[in-house]
Chain A
Amino acid sequence: MTRMRALPHRTGTHAPTLATSRRAGVDDAARRTHELETLHRLARRVASEGEPRLLLERALDTLVAMGWFTCGEALLADDTGLATVAVGRCDAVDCDACPLRDGLEEGAREALRSGAVTHRGRWHLVPIGSDALFALAGAEDVSESFLAAVVELVDAALKRTHLHARLAEKEQQRSRLLQAVLSAQEEERGRISRDLQDQIGQSLTALLLGLDRNLEAPDPEDLAKLKEIASITLADVRRIALDLRPSVLDELGLEAALRRFARDTHERYGIDVRVLVTLSARLGHQEETVLYRVAQEALTNVVRHAGARAASMVVTGSHGGVQLVVEDDGVGFDPGALAAAEQVGLMGMRERLELLGGSLGIESARGEGCSLYARLPSRRA
């Protein structure tokens, strides 16, 4: 009796054959055909679903609709425990599975722990991966190979949704980063534009007016003042150019640029920054730029947040490439609990390094300063 119930009872074309045939071979062939058809439908239905709960619901639906089970539930484990996330509707009038529903979670946890299909009354508890489970009722002779195929299929689909979710999250991070980069760029342009307009423009206007004045009636004292304006303007231009991109990096290389930047930081903020570069030759243009920008960002963070008295920038050949370590003796922080703005900053550094095949590491703790490790591989010829 139960055997009959377990056999497909809603398949239309197959049912008459099964009903009339008593031969095991035919039975078996029909069963296998039905198994294949079920798997086929299952695959088709879960293929387009990206949300884990909906995916499990669709899978349940298919299994019940194809007559393998009278009803079922999908359970999903998360941080808070095991919860039912989908129910396969049951049409049976006198199903004796439901009274057992109460003890289900316990059995489900057990099945998930063991990773094997277990039975509890009429329930088949079928773990899928490590955190999902089907509780299926109403069939006792489902073949093991069929169940295994179902599990494999649903598990793969679930993993795909997780991958999609991670990808989507990564994509979102990237787009946040891009936003941050774009707005920083716009902000910088605004600042440069203002600098040019307010400082350089004003000074040059003053110079023009003064020169006009002196063309008419030369006045040595006035000319001396004009000369003073010209030198101040020159200093402004140098400062603006330095902020944009230090030419020292192109002309003298990473060590000189880091020393220049360290001295600047010392003069502006009073932090003692020691620089050690032990490379015997200059790096590639891209490598120098990336390491300089990472050092700049890292030291800027030190100035802003660390409350440090001293910092180091050390560049050495190591780990089959080159490594920059920026270290400070400041207040430190928990790398796992950073504010969004700092995360974007770190992500920017990481992206720059990863583009050249490198990596970023951070070690810090409250009260213990911070060490930032930027690694780049040697460029292959």
Chain B
Amino acid sequence: MASTTRPAEGAGGGRVRLFLVDDHAIVRAGVRALLAHHDMLEVVGEAESGEEALTRVVAVAPDVVLLDLSLPGMNGIETARALRKTIPAARLVALSMHEDPEYVQGFLEAGGSGYVPKSSLETQLVDAILAVARGEYYAPAKLLAELAREMAQGDPYKHVKLTGRELEVVTQIAEGNTYREIAEALGISEKTVATYRERASEKLGVRSRAELVRWAIERGLVG
């Protein structure tokens, strides 16, 4: 029933129906005021918590839910996950205090489509709503760039062959053993453990423990 009564989104010419979730009345009022002049946009309901939103959205069947990420009780990420199950057709836009790529990633993984920092609601909110209503994704370029940089961290490994001992030491390190534990297990000195690790790291072209352990996991040396 919801889908039949709902107007076509964005490009179809109908108005985009919005549902607003934020625990601060003043923010809700501000967002309403901000969107008031747009003929394309219509706020059809609001809630002050994730729990309340979940009980009300089904009846309202909005096209887009604007979701504060810092909600008391059920937090924004949890609410996003639950909303994806309750009203899978609706697109989710986060209104967030946080300008961190981790939040963008977390929200997208929870099923969100758009991300707008609260500091730039004025300039980005409408763009974000229209974009997700068209089926696109939206996040500030700066945050996306940071996210991309983090994901690109770690150069490809050099293709080399480690010796048996080097492999053993790397495996033990990836299993989280201390040098002392490794030295004991392999019957060599801690100094030798360090030497094997250095050689392996040099061959693989990695500098950090994080990269070395990741390599071991990708190679299936540890679970």
Contact = CB atoms under 8 A, between A and B. Distances in A.
Interface in A212-267: 231, 234-235, 238, 247-248, 250-252, 256-257, 259-260, 263
B213 interface: yes
Contact of A318 (B146, B175, B179, B194): B175
B44 interface: no
A316 interface: yes
A329 B211 CA distance: 14
Interface string B195-223: 00000000000011111011001000000
Interface residues of B, number: 36
B176 A323 contact: yes
Interface in A263-277: 263, 272, 274-276
A149 B176 CA distance: 49
A314 B213 contact: yes
Contact of A363 (B153, B174, B180): B180
A368 B210 contact: no
Contacts of B146: 263
B106 A251 contact: yes
A312 interface: yes
A368 B194 contact: yes
A319 B176 contact: yes
Contacts of B76: 251
A278 interface: yes
Nearest to A230: B119
Nearest to B77: A251
B16 to A, nearest CB: 27
B214 A316 contact: no
Contact of A310 (B103, B150, B208): B208
Main secondary structure of the interface of B (DSSP, over half): helix
A259 B105 CA distance: 12
Interface in A300-317: 310-314, 316
Best-buried of A247, A276, A329 by chain B (most CB within 10 Å): A276
Contacts of A329: 207
A287 interface: no
15 contacts: A248-B103, A251-B103, A252-B103, A256-B106, A259-B102, A260-B100, A263-B150, A274-B153, A276-B213, A312-B208, A314-B209, A316-B174, A316-B175, A319-B176, A363-B180
Closest 9 CB pairs of A and B: A318-B176, A274-B210, A256-B102, A276-B210, A312-B209, A312-B210, A312-B208, A274-B208, A252-B106
Interface of A: 231, 234-235, 238, 247-248, 250-252, 256-257, 259-260, 263, 272, 274-276, 278, 310-314, 316, 318-319, 323, 325, 327, 329, 361, 363, 368, 371, 373
